[in-house]
Amino acid sequence: MSGKSSSAKTAVKMIQEAGARATVARIAVLRVLLSADHALAHGDVEQAAHAAGDWIERVTLYRVLEWLVDKKLAHKTVGLDRVWRFNAHYQTVSNHAHFNCTDCGKVYCMESINPVFALTLPPSFQLQQADVSLQGLCPCCNH
């Protein structure tokens, strides 16, 4: 896991490469997403940003998260509890599976699992995006 300063540098670089201005809020939110090992709900992002000393208004936080998704710097997925969660998105990662822990409720991006639906789709259907949901126990809950 990268430290605070290196993830900040990565965040700035990712935002600038997307052709956008690296504002304080954008850097702070993306940095939180980059340093998390699982997808985060709005409240989780808010808490982590505050813990890092970045006070972002809730309205701004919501807007920045949607902006990051829009710019493809992050993506969102809905968990078993119907809560949207966000995770940073390196542009090379496209389709992947999401692992929902049925105990602690954390959602992990399984970026090494690339669903190959294209092979099984009927003729004339073209896949644009896939979100596979897996359920089970995460390493912390799987004693």
**Residues of the shown chain interacting with Zn ion in the complex, contacts defined by CB under 5 A:** 87, 101, 103-104, 109, 138, 141
The owner of tokens 């998390």 is 36
Minimum distance of Zn ion from residue 81's CB (angstroms): 13
Minimum distance of Zn ion from residue 22's CB (angstroms): 23
* 121 and 95 Cβ atoms separated by less than 8 Å: no
The owner of tokens 């809950």 is 141
Shorter beta-carbon distance to Zn ion: residue 35 or 87: 87
Minimum distance of Zn ion from residue 86's CB (angstroms): 9
Shorter beta-carbon distance to Zn ion: residue 25 or 101: 101
Shorter beta-carbon distance to Zn ion: residue 61 or 109: 109
Using CA atoms, how far residue 130 sits from 10, 34, 76, 91, in Å, is 27, 22, 12, 16
In one-letter notation, the amino acid at residue 43 is G
